[in-house]
């Protein structure tokens, strides 16, 4: 495949490096010192899961217009960056190009082809002006849920520290030919790939973990293993997990796992410094809108009380203001 990864940070570079290693033609959209380092020295990718490392000399640019039409585009940006970047991505799209948003939180396309009373609903927390729906046809999208941990440790140097599982699914829950083809290609690149006929359930399983663990990591500075070893914090985590599952159920999704089962999934990430902690430490904006804000908006619309989620959200917002972090 000809593949472009738009947003070649920790997760994006992991996807790009593994696809390049398996023989695909990979290009990257990056910026700043990271882009300069990739251009000058290549992308150094250290895979702690596989016990391997390598340097990949990939075409990289800050402008998607430099890279031509692609078979597949992975979007691995922060949610607040998406509207600006989507406007520049038209040149990457041919008639059959598949777009895979591998992003945190509830995706802006969540209610596309969902069926039922909420089909086509737009959330203010995700796409307040409807611009993303206008910039990219949702018919191109394959849903993706990422279960791995990675860090950008220096410009041009990315470490995958845990996990290799990706869940792929069509927004309409069909088992399409393009889904089967892409899943096979990604599986061959060293990922553990699951095709699902219920992508929204998989989104919620990941989302309630992000909803609970990420804000706690930002508030405490704890790695995942430290959070999982602190029983008092796990009490807060369990409460938020339960609130998130109730919201999901109001929108027709039964998460189907207990809080402790979701905590067990989180334990598999070991000593990972999860994304919101990395962003806080690097003084980047925190992805509160897609991870927490969207759930609170859904809860309010459905008349569901989520008091612990609200409290932790207020605390993280205050922490971000105290550090003068950019708004998400």
The CATH number of the domain holding residue 215 is: 1.10.1040.10
Distance between CA atoms of residues 73 and 284, nearest Å: 24
Asked whether residue 327 is assigned to any structural domain, the reply reads no
- pTM flag (> 0.85): yes
Considering the domain architecture, whether residues 157 and 281 belong to the same structural domain is answered as no
| Strands of the sheet with 2-6, listed across from one edge | 59-61, 25-29, 2-6, 70-75, 93-101
Q: Which of 164, 197, 230 is the last residue of a domain?
A: 197
> What confidence category does residue 120 fall into, taking pLDDT thresholds of 50, 70 and 90?
very high
Considering the domain architecture, whether residues 243 and 182 belong to the same structural domain is answered as no
Beta carbons within 10 angstroms of residue 96's beta carbon: 10
DSSP characters for 274-296? Answer: -HHHHHHHTTPPP-HIIIIIHHH
- Report the SS3 class of residue 311: helix
| Residue 257 falls in which region: left (phi positive, over 0), alpha (psi -120 to 50) or beta | beta
Could you identify the residue written with the tokens 């027709």? Answer: 252
Is there a contact between 195 and 180 (Cβ–Cβ < 8 Å)? yes
Asked whether residue 328 is assigned to any structural domain, the reply reads no
Distance between CA atoms of residues 178 and 180, nearest Å: 5
Considering the domain architecture, whether residues 184 and 216 belong to the same structural domain is answered as no
Q: Which of 165, 197, 229 is the last residue of a domain?
A: 197
Percentages helix, strand, coil for the chain, rounded to the nearest 5? 45, 20, 35
pLDDT score for 78: 85
> What confidence category does residue 310 fall into, taking pLDDT thresholds of 50, 70 and 90?
very high
Is there a contact between 208 and 245 (Cβ–Cβ < 8 Å)? yes
Considering the domain architecture, whether residues 141 and 214 belong to the same structural domain is answered as no
The CATH number of the domain holding residue 176 is: 3.40.50.720
Mean pLDDT of the chain: 96
Residue 206 annotated to the active site: yes
Q: Which of 175, 197, 219 is the last residue of a domain?
A: 197
Q: What is the pLDDT of residues 262-306, one digit of tens each?
A: 999 999 999 999 999 999 999 999 999 999 999 999 999 999 999
Distance between CA atoms of residues 65 and 176, nearest Å: 29
Considering the domain architecture, whether residues 97 and 40 belong to the same structural domain is answered as yes
Considering the domain architecture, whether residues 178 and 207 belong to the same structural domain is answered as no
Range of the domain at 273: 201-322
Number of folded domains in the chain?
2
- Among the listed residues 34, 44, 201, 206, the single catalytic one is 206
Q: What is the pLDDT of residues 204-258, one digit of tens each?
A: 999 999 999 999 999 999 999 999 999 999 999 999 999 999 999 999 999 999 9
Distance between CA atoms of residues 227 and 236, nearest Å: 11
């Amino acid at each position: 495949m000809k593949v472009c990864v738009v947003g070649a940070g920790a997760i994006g570079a992991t996807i790009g490096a593994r696809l390049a290693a398996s023989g695909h033609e990979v290009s990257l959209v990056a910026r700043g010192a990271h882009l300069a380092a990739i251009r000058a020295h290549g992308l150094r990718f250290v895979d702690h899961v596989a016990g391997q490392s390598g340097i990949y000399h990939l075409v990289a640019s800050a402008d998607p217009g430099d890279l031509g039409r692609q078979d597949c585009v992975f979007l691995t940006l922060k949610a607040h960056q998406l509207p600006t970047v989507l406007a520049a991505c038209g040149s990457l799209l041919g008639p059959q190009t598949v777009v895979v948003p591998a992003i945190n939180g509830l995706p802006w396309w969540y209610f596309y082809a969902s069926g039922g009373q909420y089909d086509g609903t737009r959330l203010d927390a995700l796409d307040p002006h409807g611009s993303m729906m206008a910039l990219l046809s949702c018919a191109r999208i394959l849903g993706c849920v990422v279960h791995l941990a990675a860090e950008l440790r220096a410009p041009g140097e990315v470490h995958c520290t845990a996990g290799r599982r990706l869940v792929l699914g069509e927004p309409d829950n069909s088992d399409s030919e393009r889904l089967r083809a892409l899943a096979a290609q990604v599986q061959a690149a060293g990922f553990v790939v699951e095709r699902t006929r219920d992508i929204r359930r998989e989104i919620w399983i990941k989302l309630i973990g992000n909803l609970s663990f990420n804000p706690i990591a930002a508030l405490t500075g704890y790695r995942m293993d430290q959070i999982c070893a602190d029983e008092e914090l796990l009490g807060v985590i369990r409460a938020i997990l339960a609130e998130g599952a109730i919201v999901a159920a109001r929108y027709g999704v039964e998460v189907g796992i207990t809080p402790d089962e979701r905590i067990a999934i989180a334990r598999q990430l070991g000593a990972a410094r999860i994304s919101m902690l990395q962003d806080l430490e690097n003084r980047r904006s925190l992805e509160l809108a897609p991870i927490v804000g969207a759930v609170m908006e859904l809860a309010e619309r459905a008349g569901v009380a989520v008091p612990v989620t609200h409290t932790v959200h207020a605390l993280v917002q205050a922490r971000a203001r105290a550090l003068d972090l950019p708004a998400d």
